[in-house]
Structure 1
Amino acid sequence: MISDRKLEHLLICKNYDVEFKNKKTGFEDVELIHKALPEIDKNEIDLSTSVFGKKLDSPLFITAITGGHPAAKAINKQLAIAAESKNIALGVGSQRAAIEHPELADTYTVVRKNAPDCLLVGNIGAPQLDLADKAVEILDADILAIHLNPLQESIQPEGDLDARGYLDSINQITKRVDIPVMAKETGCGISAEMAKQLVDAGVSYIDIEGAGGTSWAAVETYRAEDRYLGETFWDWGIPTAISTVEVADAVDVPVVSSGGIRSGLEAAKAIALGADSVGMALPFLKHSVSEEQLTTFIDRFNDSLRIAMFLVGANNIEELKNSNLVISGKTREWLNERGINTKKYSRR
């Protein structure tokens, strides 16, 4: 049953090592250029952004985590209260379980009840055209995310391996719902070519969810009887920093950079590479012990982002996007091989 699988995913992510083993996000190859004379007041730095339809106090997204099991209700309630109090965006896990099993709907409706003004992001799979309207209705969503997870489906014992027609389905969903649609990967990243196809299909936002954070091949490895496939593809994907550059360079829609981002410093690097906001999931799950832990975590993130902005002399997110940085190592090699001139970031 879907609900049981959701609980398994939660418990595995909370209690096991599910992050990439040898592949990193690529942000270790990105260095912001320090300004010894920032000429700004740190206390007046503005973290707000409005590019996702609502003014948010920080570019931080709590990306899709959970829903669809009774145990998820308390977690989603805590996340909603934290997101509302800090005025940041919140996404939920796949809503298919609630639509097919209405008794589970309150694991999602609890979010809007506790976050009446929050920017909420719904969640369905690419082939689930018939679920789109109900997903928006259940959550009272501001944005509908369509998750892309071919690797997870490949490793998952009950995975759907027929991906034909997904792009056409996404195009139909964007026409069907009356809110913007976001495409989001689930830990393997999105390339420039895929980003262009998604935007051509009507997608308004892209959450790249690159490699370097949670590996869903790893999560499914713990569920599988035979661990060979999961172990083989544990580190599959486009590193987050690389995917951020590829997508931001290729399309003119707001981009969420996520996948292994763990601090405001890494967030600052992502935004300087072209992202409009950043997302995290696993750290919020780990801190969902209490509302106090969640809000403290958000405050620490925002403060570290503000310090990074202070050290490059950026008063706001737009100025941060134009900050100078240097890309080195494997990240530069990859981007250069893909036809992206990394020198353009060093003197803007």
Structure 2
Amino acid sequence: MISDRKLEHLLICKNYDVNYKDKTTGFEDIELIHKALPEVHKEEIDISTEVFGKKLESPLFITAITGGHAAAKEINKELAIVAEDKKIGLGLGSQRAAIVNPDLIDTYDVVREYAPSTLVLGNIGAPQSDLAEKAVEILDSDILAIHLNPLQEAIQPEGDVDARGYIDSIAEICKSVDVPVMAKETGTGISGEDAIALQKAGVSFIDVEGAGGTSWAAVETYRADDRYMGELFWDWGIPTAVSTVEVVNSVDIPVISSGGIRSGLDAAKAIALGADAVGMALPALKGAYEGQKSLVDMVERFNESLRIAMFLVGAYNIEELKNSNLIIKGETKNWLEARGFDTKAYAKR
């Protein structure tokens, strides 16, 4: 059953090491240029942003995590309370389970009960165009996310490996719902070429969700009887920093950088690379299990470390941070230059 699988995913993410082994996000190769004369007052730094008319107090999104099992209701409630209080975006896991089994709807719509005004993102799979309108209705979502997870499907014992017609289905979803649509990967990144195709299909946002954080090949490895394929593809994907640069330089729609983001410093680097916002999933899930204080502490640490990074580069707001100078080095530089991107353009802007 779908709900059983969702519970397995939650418990595995909570209890096992599901991080990439040898591949990193690439943010260790991004160096922001320190300003000894920042000429800003740290307490006046504005980290707020606006997404489709909704003012968010931070560029942090809690990206798609959970739903579809009774155990997820309390987690989503905890996440919603904090998202509403801190005015940050909140994404949920795939809603297919609730559409197939209406008894599970309350594991999702509990979010709107406790987060009536902040930005909420619904979620369906790319081939599920027939579920799009119902998904938006269940959550009263502001944005509908379409998740792309070919690696997970390939490793998953019950995975759907027929990926034909994804672009046509995404285009149909964009036309059928009355909210903006976001395309998001689930931990293996999006290339510049795929980003262009997604924008042409009509999506309004792209969440790169790159490699270096949670590996869904790892999650599915723990579920499989034969672990060979999961172990083999554990580190597959485009590092988050690389994917962020590729997508930002290929499309002209807002980009969320996620996948292994663990601090406001990571976020500052992602935004300086051109992202409009950042997402975190696993730290929020673990925080939800630990309770409200842990979640609040996580968000506050994120916001404060972002402010410090902005102070040190002399940026008063997110737009100024996006124009900060930085150096791209190491494997990230090698990857990007091999793909034809000019890494020196970021050094003096």
TM-score when normalising by structure 1: 1.00
Q: Secondary structure at the match of 2:55?
A: coil
Instruction: Say what the alpha-carbon RMSD is for the aligned residues.
Output: 0.5
Indicate the residue corresponding to 1:170 in structure 2.
Answer: 170
CA-to-aligned-CA distance 1:130-180 (integer Å, 9 cap, x gap):
100110000000000000000000000000010000100000000000000
Q: For 2:52 and 2:306, locate their aligned partners in 1 and report how far apart those are by CA, in whole Å.
A: 19
Q: Secondary structure at the match of 1:70?
A: coil
Indicate the residue corresponding to 1:78 in structure 2.
Answer: 78
Shift of 1:58: 0.2
Aligned residue runs from structure 1 range 70-149, under 5 A: 70-149=70-149
CA-to-aligned-CA distance 1:27-77 (integer Å, 9 cap, x gap):
000000000010000000000111444110000000000000000000000
Aligned residue runs from structure 1 range 271-310, under 5 A: 271-288=271-288, 289-310=290-311
The AA in structure 2 aligned to 1:217 is A
CA contact (8 A) 1:51 1:254 kept: no
Q: For 2:327 and 2:73, locate their aligned partners in 1 and report how far apart those are by CA, in whole Å.
A: 43
Alpha carbons of structure 1 residues 183 and 53: separation in structure 2 relative to 1, 3 Å:
farther
Aligned residue runs from structure 1 range 242-257, under 5 A: 242-257=242-257
Indicate the residue corresponding to 2:325 in structure 1.
Answer: 324
The AA in structure 2 aligned to 1:287 is G
Indicate the residue corresponding to 1:8 in structure 2.
Answer: 8
Indicate the residue corresponding to 1:67 in structure 2.
Answer: 67
Indicate the residue corresponding to 2:339 in structure 1.
Answer: 338
Q: For 1:286 and 1:312, locate their aligned partners in 2 and report how far apart those are by CA, in whole Å.
A: 31
Q: For 1:75 and 1:51, locate their aligned partners in 2 and report how far apart those are by CA, in whole Å.
A: 25
Q: How many residues align?
A: 348
CA contact (8 A) 1:272 1:322 kept: yes
Indicate the residue corresponding to 1:261 in structure 2.
Answer: 261
Q: For 2:51 and 2:141, locate their aligned partners in 1 and report how far apart those are by CA, in whole Å.
A: 16
The AA in structure 2 aligned to 1:337 is A
Once the two structures are aligned, what percentage of the paired residues are identical? 75
TM-score when normalising by structure 2: 0.99
Shift of 1:127: 0.4
Spell out structure 1 runs of 4+ moving beyond 2 A: none
Aligned residue runs from structure 1 range 141-220, under 5 A: 141-220=141-220
CA-to-aligned-CA distance 1:238-262 (integer Å, 9 cap, x gap):
0000000000010000000000010
Q: For 1:84 and 1:127, locate their aligned partners in 2 and report how far apart those are by CA, in whole Å.
A: 31
Structure 2's unaligned 5+ residue stretches are none
The AA in structure 1 aligned to 2:54 is K
CA-to-aligned-CA distance 1:52-111 (integer Å, 9 cap, x gap):
441100000000000000000000000000000000000000000000000000000100
Q: For 1:211 and 1:76, locate their aligned partners in 2 and report how far apart those are by CA, in whole Å.
A: 25
CA contact (8 A) 1:188 1:238 kept: yes
Indicate the residue corresponding to 2:221 in structure 1.
Answer: 221
Q: Secondary structure at the match of 2:306?
A: helix
Indicate the residue corresponding to 1:233 in structure 2.
Answer: 233
Indicate the residue corresponding to 2:348 in structure 1.
Answer: 347
